[in-house]
Structure 1
Amino acid sequence: MKKLISEFKEFAVKGNVIDMAVGVIIGSAFGKIVSSLVNDIIMPVVTLMTGATDFSRLSIVLKEPVDGSQGISLMYGSFLQNVIDFLIIALVIFLMLKCIVKISSLRQKEEKEDMREEKGPTTEELLIEIRDLLKEK
Structure 2
Amino acid sequence: MKNFFQEFKNFAIKGNMIDLAIGIIIGTAFNNVVSTLVSKIIMPPLSLLTDDVNLANKKWILRKAIDNVEEVAVGYGELIESLVDFCIIALTIFIVVKFINRFKEKAEDPENKEVETPKNIALLSSMEKLLKEQNKILKNRK
TM-score by length of 1: 0.69
Ranges in structure 1 where 5+ consecutive residues have no aligned partner: 128-137
Cross-structure match for 2:34:
34
Going from structure 1 to structure 2, the CA distance change for 1:63 and 1:10 (only over 3 Å counts) comes to same
Going from structure 1 to structure 2, the CA distance change for 1:71 and 1:94 (only over 3 Å counts) comes to same
SS of structure 1 residue aligned to 2:73: strand
SS of structure 2 residue aligned to 1:61: strand
Are 2:61 and 2:73, in contact at CA under 8 Å, matched by a contact in 1? Answer: yes
Structure 1 residue 4: Cα displacement: 8.1
Cross-structure match for 1:105:
105
Alignment partners' CA distance in 2, 1:61 and 1:52:
20
Query: What per-residue deviation string (whole Å, max 9, x for no partner) do you get for residues 29-64 of structure 1?
Result: 111121121112111122222224432111122222
Aligned residues: 120
SS of structure 1 residue aligned to 2:70: coil
Cross-structure match for 2:15:
15
Query: What per-residue deviation string (whole Å, max 9, x for no partner) do you get for residues 72-99 of structure 1?
Result: 2211101111111111111111111111
Query: What per-residue deviation string (whole Å, max 9, x for no partner) do you get for residues 91-111 of structure 1?
Result: 1111111111222223333x3
Structure 1 residue 71: Cα displacement: 2.4
SS of structure 1 residue aligned to 2:62: strand
Are 2:63 and 2:72, in contact at CA under 8 Å, matched by a contact in 1? Answer: yes
Going from structure 1 to structure 2, the CA distance change for 1:87 and 1:68 (only over 3 Å counts) comes to same
What amino acid sits opposite 2:22 in the alignment? V
SS of structure 1 residue aligned to 2:66: coil
Ranges in structure 2 where 5+ consecutive residues have no aligned partner: 114-121, 138-142
Structure 1 residue 22: Cα displacement: 1.3
Alignment partners' CA distance in 2, 1:45 and 1:82:
17
Going from structure 1 to structure 2, the CA distance change for 1:9 and 1:105 (only over 3 Å counts) comes to closer
Cross-structure match for 1:84:
84
SS of structure 2 residue aligned to 1:112: coil
Structure 1 residue 14: Cα displacement: 3.0
Alignment partners' CA distance in 2, 1:58 and 1:52:
12
Alignment partners' CA distance in 2, 1:113 and 1:63:
66
Cross-structure match for 1:64:
64
Query: RMSD in angstroms over aligned alpha carbons?
Result: 3.1
Give the number of the structure whose alpha-carbon radius of gyration is greater: 1
Are 2:58 and 2:77, in contact at CA under 8 Å, matched by a contact in 1? Answer: yes
